[in-house]
Structure 1
Amino acid sequence: MNNKFELNLTSIPKELKLLLDLIQGNDGEYKHRNTDGWFTDINWDYFLKLAIHHRVYPLLYLELKAIESNLIPSQVLQTLQAYYQKNTFQMLHLSGEMERISELFAKNDIPSLFLKGPVIAYDLYGDISLRTSKDLDVLIKKRDIQKVEGLLFEKGYINTQETITQNDKKGRNYHIAYFHPHKKIEIEIHWRLHPYPINQPTFSELWERKRVSSFTSYPVSFLGREDLFLYLGVHGARHGWFRLRWLKDIDQMLKTKLNYRKINSFQKKYQYSYMIGQMFLLANCLLNTKAHKEIKLISERHSRKLAQLALLYIKKRTHSHVNGLKNLNNYHTRYLFILMPTSRKVLFILTLFYPSFKDEQTLPLPSYLHFLYFPLRPVLWIWRKTVKMIQL
């Protein structure tokens, strides 16, 4: 495949371009540059906000620390150092809990796969302090949900999500969040990798290809290399790559040995081709990532369109986060629709009609009447919007 693509990057601010240059990490190349021009007219407050939003401050701290330039304010380095140290403690804290949860589930005959967190940080970067994680994500079989919830309750976790209805589990929802008030740790229990209607491997298939981490003293199972690569790619695409940490993860994975025949086979089987194409284009243009020649882009034209949409989305989400603008739910729904392959678009639209906990809050009904939420959903949605407009 072509290893150099072009996207319209004219709207990206200088601070974001600097951030992207730094996280490429080209083995000390930056130290030999004429950095005077590199750091000229940088809004450092904005740069720090970008670093925090995109969750790449550990990498930025180490890069900037290694660069000798009086143009980098000491306050910037001190702030990044504080976040770096806080993240290191957080990752160590999560590592201990990850082992305990893995052991708890194994002793109760519950197969589990850790999707992100310290085990992924170590696998991708070789150092858990170089990647951030706010929680632990664990994939289990759907039939084990009730059993897992009981075990977590026994260990002091509480369900912090709004009520998850049976319709949610059948439709858009694919995980439940639990929080430990004393340990200050959140765990997301997944029964699917991605929300419906995205295609995905079964748990049994993922379990057959799993790896066991060498980073922990108690065995912790996580996704096989190609499964992890595609999971991170689809996850990033679903969220419009609004955190550049996800794109850096892909950059790191492409530096390892991957079975590209498997990747090509999986992306075709599960209809990920457009999303994976988008991922490669973004990684190449923003991080100068080189993709292997065996990778096949099914439709480079459509992937380029999706990549350009993601750039706009990255800019919108970043601006929204930094300046506190209104949420982008409507834009995100449209983006997801365009992201879907044609064969899944109808199913995606149908998921929008699945009842949610908001419908139950608006009109509580006994469980034997929950089927009424399907025809009532449009009415309840209009009612909520009307009440919201009146309150404004």
Structure 2
Amino acid sequence: MARARLKTKKLLTPELELALICSGPEVSADAKGRLAGIANGKIDWTLFLKLVMRHQLFPMIYWRYKERYLPVFPVSVVAELQKADRMNKIRTMQMTMEMTELVRGLAERGISAIVVKGIPLAQMLYQNITHRTSNDIDILVRQDELEAAKQVLEERGYEAEKEQYCLIHDALPEWIEQTQSVACFDARRKIMVDLTICLGSHGAVIPWEEIEGCIEEIIFAGQMIRVVKKEVLFLHLILHGAGHAWFRLKWLLDIAYILEKGEISWRELYRLSDKIGVSHIVNQSLLLVHEICGITLPEKIERKASNSKVAYKLAQQAMELMKISDFNPVKLGPMPPSKTYFLYKKYRFCMLHSWKQRIQYGYYEVVNLIMGIGRELSIKISG
């Protein structure tokens, strides 16, 4: 027996529904009819703009508006979309140039870097690098190349963020080694690069032998770039979005666009997700993309996802977090204590599929909480 549908009514306000239809994979005749009905109704355009900016949906919406695929928006809304789109174009071009320079510099040191998500993903899904925002450059390297890659970035003016693990390193060396990444920031260019040695998230790492089978070389701005594709990319996007509770719906739309292309092998996807114990997270993302983005799934896959109790619970938890207007897990700290903080940590705990992972994660978060409280107290004392 299929499970009841997700309760999307409180999340899908007319403003958010309008934004999702405007930026979704296909503006069909049926969708245009719904668009006209929504746009002609009582729309809070201030809220619409806020949602479009928060979920970073404005590049596709503005492009479609210019191409006259969308209904007429108020002049003030169009002006704000145009302004954000112009800034995104400039930023994207800067990051594209920097990405190619970084890959070239790493290759000269014999480092076979792989660019993940970001600008190549925008080209792959939207056929235009400016139709999707990119906040940083994600580069995947092997563990034995991490220090050399970090040095290349430092020579270009990047500064690595300080290590904050200490006690965690001693207690959970395997956990840290599997998920290690180094965030490097160039203050002059205002560009963040995330050097990582794995794809996935805490407790769910895609094996390198699987990654190697999905690597493709493409020419980008005159430079050969290595990227991951197919089921490995799809699964990584799911794990990344789910790990952040899909607080930016552009990540869920990425999933929708990939599904609309119809190039994913369901058998291969579930083989890989079963291998690393994350099929429940895959099912969660499919439930959300079906209910929120309106993507039609194969009947067998929809039934499989709907019948997963864990996936259904995770989908509901993610939607509770999505409804919080200022929710951003990247900026969410333990001080001062908040309901949102504990809701998110509970959600992350439920994502883990084994008790070993849950115990490790619990210890990890307890240490982080103690360290966070300690930092706050030291600041207050010194102040």
1:210 maps onto 2:222 in alignment: no
* Amino acid in the other structure paired with 2:229: G
Residue 7 (structure 1) aligns with: 6
Give the Cα–Cα distance (whole angstroms) in 1 for the partners of residues 110 and 244 of structure 2. Answer: 33
1:26 maps onto 2:26 in alignment: yes
Residue 138 (structure 1) aligns with: 139
How many Å apart are 1:244 and its aligned residue? Answer: 0.2
Give the Cα–Cα distance (whole angstroms) in 2 for the partners of residues 384 and 78 of structure 1. Answer: 42
How many Å apart are 1:194 and its aligned residue? Answer: 3.4
Give the Cα–Cα distance (whole angstroms) in 1 for the partners of residues 42 and 114 of structure 2. Answer: 46
Q: 1:102, 1:112 within 8 Å by CA — same for their partners in 2?
A: yes
Match of 2:321 among 294, 299, 313: 313
Tell me which moved more, 147-156 or 15-24: 15-24
Residue 86 (structure 1) aligns with: 87
* Amino acid in the other structure paired with 2:128: D
Cα 1:281–1:298 shift into 2, 3 Å: closer
How many Å apart are 1:153 and its aligned residue? Answer: 1.3
Q: How does 1:191-230 map to 2 (within 5 A)?
A: 191-196=197-202, 198-230=203-235
> C-alpha deviations, 1:162-220, integer Å up to 9, x for none?
33456666445632111223322211111222343x22223343134211224442111
* Amino acid in the other structure paired with 2:206: P
More strand by percentage: 2
Secondary structure of the corresponding residue to residue 205 of structure 2: coil
> C-alpha deviations, 1:317-361, integer Å up to 9, x for none?
x3447xx9976332211110112213432232233355x6xxxxx
> C-alpha deviations, 1:19-63, integer Å up to 9, x for none?
222222433535456725534221111111111110111122133
Cα 1:246–1:139 shift into 2, 3 Å: same
Give the Cα–Cα distance (whole angstroms) in 2 for the partners of residues 114 and 168 of structure 1. Answer: 28
Cα 1:281–1:37 shift into 2, 3 Å: closer
Tell me which moved more, 37-46 or 53-62: 37-46
Cα 1:111–1:25 shift into 2, 3 Å: closer
Q: 1:58, 1:131 within 8 Å by CA — same for their partners in 2?
A: yes
Residue 49 (structure 2) aligns with: 48
1:278 maps onto 2:277 in alignment: no
* Amino acid in the other structure paired with 1:266: L
Give the Cα–Cα distance (whole angstroms) in 1 for the partners of residues 198 and 167 of structure 2. Answer: 15
How many Å apart are 1:67 and its aligned residue? Answer: 5.1
Secondary structure of the corresponding residue to residue 254 of structure 1: helix
Q: Among all aligned residue pairs of Structure 1 and Structure 2, give the percentage whose two residues are the same amino acid.
A: 24
Residue 354 (structure 2) aligns with: 342
* Amino acid in the other structure paired with 2:49: L
Q: 1:103, 1:218 within 8 Å by CA — same for their partners in 2?
A: yes
Give the Cα–Cα distance (whole angstroms) in 1 for the partners of residues 290 and 189 of structure 2. Answer: 40
* Amino acid in the other structure paired with 2:317: L
Tell me which moved more, 27-36 or 45-54: 27-36
Residue 308 (structure 2) aligns with: 300
Give the Cα–Cα distance (whole angstroms) in 2 for the partners of residues 99 and 113 of structure 1. Answer: 12
Residue 362 (structure 1) aligns with: none
* Amino acid in the other structure paired with 1:149: K
* Amino acid in the other structure paired with 1:18: L
1:259 maps onto 2:271 in alignment: no
Q: 1:25, 1:63 within 8 Å by CA — same for their partners in 2?
A: no
How many Å apart are 1:101 and its aligned residue? Answer: 1.3
Q: What 5-or-longer segments of structure 2 have no aligned partner?
A: none
Secondary structure of the corresponding residue to residue 193 of structure 2: strand
* Amino acid in the other structure paired with 2:27: D
How many Å apart are 1:253 and its aligned residue? Answer: 0.7
- For normalisation by structure 1, the TM-score amounts to 0.82
Secondary structure of the corresponding residue to residue 99 of structure 2: helix
Give the Cα–Cα distance (whole angstroms) in 2 for the partners of residues 49 and 279 of structure 1. Answer: 24
Residue 151 (structure 2) aligns with: 150
Cα 1:199–1:166 shift into 2, 3 Å: same
Q: 2:306, 2:312 within 8 Å by CA — same for their partners in 1?
A: no
Residue 369 (structure 1) aligns with: none
Give the Cα–Cα distance (whole angstroms) in 2 for the partners of residues 382 and 182 of structure 1. Answer: 32
Secondary structure of the corresponding residue to residue 223 of structure 2: coil
Tell me which moved more, 107-116 or 339-348: 339-348
Q: What 5-or-longer segments of structure 1 have no aligned partner?
A: 357-376
Residue 364 (structure 1) aligns with: none
Give the Cα–Cα distance (whole angstroms) in 2 for the partners of residues 333 and 134 of structure 1. Answer: 24
Give the Cα–Cα distance (whole angstroms) in 1 for the partners of residues 245 and 297 of structure 2. Answer: 20
Q: How does 1:110-129 map to 2 (within 5 A)?
A: 110-129=111-130
Cα 1:14–1:136 shift into 2, 3 Å: same
> C-alpha deviations, 1:130-165, integer Å up to 9, x for none?
111011001111222211121111112122x23345
Tell me which moved more, 171-180 or 264-273: 171-180
